[in-house]
Amino acid sequence: MTDTPRLDAGGPEPTAEELSAASAVFGDRLHLARGFVAHLATSGIERGLLGPREVPRLWGRHVLNCAVVAELMDTDASVVDVGSGAGLPGLAIAIARPDLRLDLVEPLERRVVWLKEVVDDLALGNVTVHRARAEEMVGTLHGDYVTARAVSALATLAGWTIPLTRADGQVLAIKGRSVGEEIEKARKVIRRLGGGTAEIVSAGAAILEEPTTVVRIPVRPV
C-alpha cells in the first residue's frame, strides 16, 4: 500500500491555455499527464521533490515545459534522463511519446522509490528507473538522446551526459534563457568529450506562451 494517488485522483486543474497546450502535446494520453500532475501535487510535495509553492505552476512551468522537448526527438528513439528527480523531464516526455524508450537515472533512493511508484501507477511500459549516478552508467546505458533539467552547470553536466550519448546522438539540456555564458564556459569540456558545437533551440514555440529553452549538443561519431 503506497501513498501515491490513483490515476483518477485530482491534481491542480490547468488553465484554459494550459489545457489547450496539454491536449496538443499529450493527445489521448492527457489522462496520464493528469495522473502525473496529481502525483506531483500530493506525494511529490510530501516527500520534498518539489516545494508546495510550485503546485499552481505544475502544468505550465514544469510538465508542459518538459514534455515539449519531445518534439526535438526522432521516432522510436532511446532516451537517457540524467538526474530525473521528480520525473522532469523524463516522465513528462515518456507520457507525451509512448514510442520512445526512457531510462531514468537518479542517485537518491527516496526519489527512485517515488519514480517507480508513479511509473507503476500510470503503467508506463516505456520507462525504466535506475538508482545510480550518471557516471556509474557509462558503458551500460546509451541513448540517442540524453536529457537533463536543473541538474548542474553545463560544464559539469557535459561530463555526465555526453558519455551516455550514442555517436550521432544529442544531449538536450533544458536551461534558462541566459544560458549563453554557460555555453562559453563549457566549450572546451564539450569538445574534449566528443561533443560538437552547442546551440540554443526552442521547443513548444507553437503552443506555449513561453517556449522551452534547450541547449542541444550533437555528439560526434567515433
DSSP codes, 202-216: EESTTT-SSPEEEEE
For residue range 150-181, what is the model confidence (pLDDT) as tens digits?
778 999 999 999 999 999 999 999 998 788 88
Residue 27 lies in a domain: no
Residue 35 lies in a domain: no
Return the C-alpha torsion angle 9, 15, 20, 26, nearest 10: -30
Residue 5 lies in a domain: no
Per the structure, the complete domain to which residue 113 belongs is given by 68-218
The Cα 114–Cα 117 span in angstroms is: 5
Structurally, the chain folds into a number of domains equal to 1
For residue range 175-216, what is the model confidence (pLDDT) as tens digits?
987 888 899 999 999 999 999 999 999 999 999 999 999 999
Look up the CATH number of the domain holding residue 183.
Answer: 3.40.50.150
- The predicted model scores a pTM of 0.93
Residue 48 lies in a domain: no
